[in-house]
Amino acid sequence: MDKIGIEEMIRSLGRLRAEDMYLNDFFLTWDKSDDEIQATYKVAEILRALRQNNISTNVFDSGLAISLFRDNSTRTRFSYASAANMLGLEIQDLDEGKSQIAHGETVRETANMISFMADVIGIRDDMYIGKGHTYMQEVSQSVYQGYLDGVLEQRPSLVNLQCDIDHPTQSMADMAHIINHFGGVENLKGKKIAMTWAYSPSYGKPLSVPQGIVGLMSRFGMDVSLAHPEGYNIMPEVEQVAATNSERSGGSFNRVNSMEEAFQDADIVYPKSWAPFSVMEERTKLVEQGDDAGLKALEQRGLENNKKYMDWECTEDLMKKTREGNALYMHCLPADITGVSCERGEVEASVFDRYRVPLYKEASYKPYIIAAMIFMSKFKNPSDKLLQLLQSGNNRIL
C-alpha cells in the first residue's frame, strides 16, 4: 500500500463508530461492535502499511506496556513486544516468581503497584476455566478504580493475550489473514469455515482458540461448522454467541460429529486439538483442591480418551473434500505435525508443508492486531493520529 492508499484507508477508518474503544479494554471479540472489529482491522493494516513505507509509528515518547504470562508463550510474547515497541512503549514483564507479591496480596493492590506508568497491560491466563477472564476483569476494574481515585495518572487498558474464554489477538489475526486471502471482508459471505478438533498426544490445550474462532468468524455471514468427537464440547455460552452472530450476519453455525462432514466443501479449515470443557472444569476444581493425584489421574484419562480419536487428523485425503480440494488451511501454531513433532498429530506433514508460508503470514498479523488494539484504546480519534504519523514523514530507520 502506498501513501495515497494509506490516506484513503485512514479516511475510511474515520467513518466507523469506534469511540467506545477509547480508554477501554479488549477482552472478548463479541464485546465489540462490528464497526469496532472493522476499525481494529483497519488500524492494523494502516500501521503495517506505515511500517512498510518506513514511516515511524512511534506515538509514545515514553510509557510502559506491562505483560503477565501465566502460561508459556513465544508467538504472543514476541507479538506483544513488537506491538509495544512499534508504538514507543517499553515492555516490563511481571514475573510472578521474582516478585514480592505477598501471600494474600490482593489483585487490586498488585495491579495498581505495577501501573503507575503503564499505558497498557497484556495478560495471558488461559489454564483454568472460570479463572483467566475473571482475573483480567479484576485487574481492569482495579486499575480503573486506581485511575478514578487519582492513584494512577492514566488509565491502563487491558489486552487479553488469551484467557479461558477467548483468544482475541489470535482470532483477529486469523480474521485479517482470511480477509486478505479472500480479497476483502465483503467476499466472506457464504464461505464455509470448518473449526474442527484434531488429535494430539498432548493434554489440556485451552479452548480459547476454537471458541475465539467460532465467536468471531460467525460475524461475517460465513457458514461456521464446528466439529469434534463426543464430549469435546466447547463452552455452551460461546456456542450461543456463535449462533446469535450467525443469525444476525446471515450465515450459519452448526455442530457436526466428524471432520469429514465439516471439511466437505469448506473454504477454510482450522483443525486443532483442545481439551473437553468438562475435563477443563474438573481440572480447575482439582487444582483448587490441590489434589495432585486427582490431576495426574485426570491427565491420564484425558490422554487415553484422546487416543480414541487418533483418526481426527487433517490428511491430504480430507483436504480433497474441501472446496476444489483447495481450502485455506489454518492453525494458530505450533501444530502437532505427524512424523515431525510427534508420531501422530493434528496434521499430515505434507499438508502442513504446503501451507507453511500462508501459516507464517497468518501469524504475522498478530503484532499489528495487538498494536491496533492498543492504539484504539489510547486515542479518541485514531484516524487523526494516524494521519499525523503519515504526514510527519519520520522514518522508522534513518
398 binds a second copy (CB under 8 A): yes
Which of residues 86 and 179 has its CB atom nearest to a second copy in the complex?
A: 86
Stretch that binds a second copy, among 34-42, 100-108, 234-242, 301-309 (CB under 8 A): 100-108
92 binds a second copy (CB under 8 A): yes
What CA–CA distance (Å, rounded) separates 329 from 219? Answer: 20
Tell me if 350 sits within 8 A of 337, measured CB to CB: no
Residue-by-residue DSSP string for 238-305: HHHHHHHHHHHHT-EEEEES-HHHHHTT-SEEEEE----HHHHHHHHHHHHHT-HHHHHHHHHHHHHH
φ, ψ dihedrals at 226, nearest 5° = -105, 125
4 binds a second copy (CB under 8 A): no
393 binds a second copy (CB under 8 A): no
Among 57, 170, 211, 273, binds a second copy (CB under 8 A): 57
Which of residues 188 and 363 has its CB atom nearest to a second copy in the complex?
A: 363
Among 98, 184, 230, 293, binds a second copy (CB under 8 A): 98
Stretch that binds a second copy, among 52-60, 164-172, 221-229, 236-244 (CB under 8 A): 52-60
Among 111, 114, 357, 305, which Cα is nearest to 197's? Answer: 305
Which of residues 87 and 318 has its CB atom nearest to a second copy in the complex?
A: 87
Which residues ranging from 305 to 364 are in contact with a second copy (CB under 8 A)?
333-334, 336-337, 340-342, 357, 360-361, 363-364
Among 62, 184, 290, 324, binds a second copy (CB under 8 A): 62
Alpha carbon 29 to chain centroid, angstroms:
9
- Closest distance of CB 241 from a second copy, Å: 27
Beta bridge partners of 337: 347
What CA–CA distance (Å, rounded) separates 277 from 284? Answer: 11
46 binds a second copy (CB under 8 A): no
Which residues ranging from 150 to 169 are in contact with a second copy (CB under 8 A)?
150-153
216 binds a second copy (CB under 8 A): no
Whole-angstrom CA distances from 9 to 15, 48, 129, 352, 385 are 10, 12, 39, 34, 13
Count the residues of the shown chain that bind a second copy, applying the rule CB under 8 A. Answer: 78
- Closest distance of CB 129 from a second copy, Å: 20
Q: In the numeric block, which cell numbers belong to residue 337? A: 505435525
- Determine the 3-state secondary structure of 321 from DSSP: coil
